[in-house]
Amino acid sequence: MVDESEYAWVPEPAPEPRRPVLVLLQSLAVLLAGVLGFPLGLLWQQLAPNVPVLIVQDGAVYNDPQPEQFMSGDGWFAVLGFSFGVVLAVVTWILFRRLRGPLLIVLLAVAGTVAAVIAWKFGRQLGLDAYLKELHSAPAGTELGKPNDLRVQLLRWWPPAVEGVLLLPALGSTLTVTLLAAWSRWPSLRAPRSTGTPEAAPGIGPEEAGGPAFS
C-alpha cells in the first residue's frame, strides 16, 4: 500500500526578503556593467583583422571589391558579444540573488546593449587616427590596414532602434538567465531564509532523515 505522506506537498520556505535600498544598489551595479564595453571593444579590435586598403592616385580603394575582413569583424563581435552576455548573466545571477526574476532580465538587456554600443563606438576608433594620417601621406601603391568596423548593425537614437549584432550581448544574457531560472529549485528563484537547522527532504520524517524521534 502506498503511503501518501511521502508525496505530500511541502510549501516553499520564505525566501530572503527584498531590501529596497540593496535592490537599488545592486541594480545600479548591473547597469554600470555596461562600461565593460570598453575592454570588450579593445578585445574585438585586437581579434578582428584590418581591412586591406590600396593607395591610388585618386585616393584609396579596397584591395578586394567585397573584403571578407568585414564579415570577420562582424563575426568576432557576435561571438564576443554573446559570450560577454552569458558571463555577465552568470555572475549577476550568483552575486545578486535579490534581483532574480523579470527585473534582472531587464537590467541585463539594458546593460548588454549599452556595452555593445560602447564596444562598437570605442573599438572602431582604435588605430583610426594613425590610419587616416598614413592615408593622407602615403604614396600611391602603398597598402594600408584599415581598422575594422561593423556592417550588420543599426543604431538610431530617435526614434530609438538597435538591431543586428549589437543585440547579441542582451540576447546572451537574457537567454542565460531564463535557463538558470528554469533550473532553479525555488519557485521564487531565491534561496529560503536560513533558519540554522538542517532541512529535511519533502515527505521524509525525522527518523528517516537521520534525526531523533520525539513522541
Nearest to 105 by CA among 178, 36, 161: 178
What's the whole-model pTM score? 0.75
pLDDT band at 194 (very low <50, low <70, confident <90, very high): low
Which helix (DSSP H) or strand (DSSP E) does residue 40 occupy? helix 37-47
- Residues 42-70 have a mean pLDDT of 83
Hey, which residues does 62 pair with through a beta bridge? 53
Q: What is the pLDDT of residue 199?
A: 46
Are 134 and 147 in contact, with CB atoms under 8 Å apart?
Answer: no
Q: What is the residue type of 66?
A: Q
- Residues 1-13 have a mean pLDDT of 53
Q: What is the pLDDT of residue 114?
A: 94
